[in-house]
Each structure stands twice: as C-alpha cells, then as structure tokens.
Amino acid sequence: MLAAGAQSFLITPIAHNGKRKTDKLDARALCLRLSRWVDGNRDELAPIRIPCQAEQQRREGTRRRQFLAREIRCLANRGHGQVAEYCHLKLPHGWWGARKWKKLAMLDPWVLGLLEKLRELILALTAQLEALDVELVARVKDMPRPKGLGELTLVTLDGEVCDWNRFNNRKQIGSYTGCCPGEHSSGGKRQVGGIDRMGNGRVRAGAGLFGVSVELPETFIRRVTS
C-alpha cells in the first residue's frame, strides 16, 4: 500500500456523539475529519507517532522490568494469602529470602510445600530482574543525570520518550506526561482541577511527575530547544 502511494495514520480515539453507532457512520465521520485535516485544519485529527523497531526494542527492557516486578508481587501476595487462610499467620515482607525462609519451618508441611513452589518461581524471576537491572543501568551509565532522578528512572524516561526532538517546547513535554491540569471554564469563570492523566502513564509514574514540576536535564532541554 505504501508503494502504491497510500499513507496511513494512527490517531487518538474519537468519541462520536449520538445513540447510533455503525461502521458506516464511523467511517463517514472519520473521512470528514480526514478531509478537513488534509485541508489544513490540524485540530480535526491528532496523529500518533509510531516508534520505529529500534525504539520499541529499547522500550521493551523497562516494560519487561515492570512486568517481572509485578509478577513477583503477585506471587508474594499469593503466599501471604495462603498462610493467612490456612495458618492464620502473617508472613514477613520478603518471606522468600534465605534468612526469613528458615524461620518458616514451623508452618504446616502442606502449606510449606505450597510456599516452596511459589518461592522457586519468585527466585527465578528475581534473578531475571537483577540481570535486567544491570543491563538497563549500563545503558545510561555515561548519561548526565539530574539530581533526584535514579538510573532506572532515567532509562525508563529516555526509552518511553524515544526522541526528544519531536517536542517543540516544554509544554508539549508536560502534555505528553499527562500532568496538565484539568479545566472547566466559561466566560470569566476559570476552574482548574487535578491533572488530566491523559499521557504516558509510565513516564508520569516513573519520573514522579504527579502534579509537581521537575527540572528537566540540561541535555534534554538542549535537544528540545535546538
């Protein structure tokens, strides 16, 4: 299709008002919006930038790290729940560690067998997570890091943004994080609410941008303003 001259756009979701929704009506509305967008009205559609394959692969490292950490928490919570259900006891945090595991010998053998299987999975995932952390930290070892921003947060931020040169100003960066305030204003009345969270959640959560302003690295600012 590209060789034939076709051009494809990926756009943000559009909500069509009305109680009737069919493929024909949706296609007609999209074609009308596309026509106005081609004529120069850039507010009709909001095309999304599609990362290249290299950017997607760079992104995958931090996303896989989040996946592994989430799986470890799920398995750990499963162990907490089983001990609470069958033994009416509370497991210590990090119960699968070598020291704390020895103290669990007084549990019922059947429950201990369940925990042992969970522990094997947690230890295997933890080993993968630690190896991945070393790989990610090495990626940003020589990059300048602003005060208060950890190495893992920096590699997440740089991987999710992909290309800082696509932003024209700092406001666009704030909009990408979803930290812009919600607003409900009319006439002379202006009411500003909490952040809209309509951006990249991984960047917002990882960089700690929940409604607070942070100082961007000088190298990133030069990329944006150059």
pLDDT tens digits, residue range 53-107? 898 988 899 999 999 999 999 999 999 999 999 999 999 999 999 999 999 999 9
Please check the confidence at residue 210 and state whether its pLDDT lies above 80. Answer: no
Mean pLDDT of 216-226: 48
Is residue 105 within a helix (H) or strand (E), and if so which, with residue range?
none
Residue 214 confidence (pLDDT) above 50: no
Name the residue with higher pLDDT: 120 or 166: 120
> What is the largest distance, in Å, between two alpha-carbon atoms of the chain?
75
Q: Write out pLDDT tens, residues 146-188.
A: 777 788 888 888 888 888 888 888 778 778 887 778 888 888 8
Please tell me which of 33-37, 112-116, 216-220 the model is most confident about, judged by mean pLDDT: 112-116
Tell me how far apart the alpha carbons of residues 87 and 64 are, in angstroms, rounded to a whole number: 34
pTM of the model: 0.73
Mean pLDDT of 185-211: 75
What pLDDT is stored for residue 224 in this prediction?
Answer: 44
Q: Tell me the C-alpha distance between 192 and 206, whole Å.
A: 25
Q: Are 152 and 125 in contact (CB under 8 A)?
A: no
Hey, what are 144's tokens? 């300048």
- Mean pLDDT (the chain) is 83
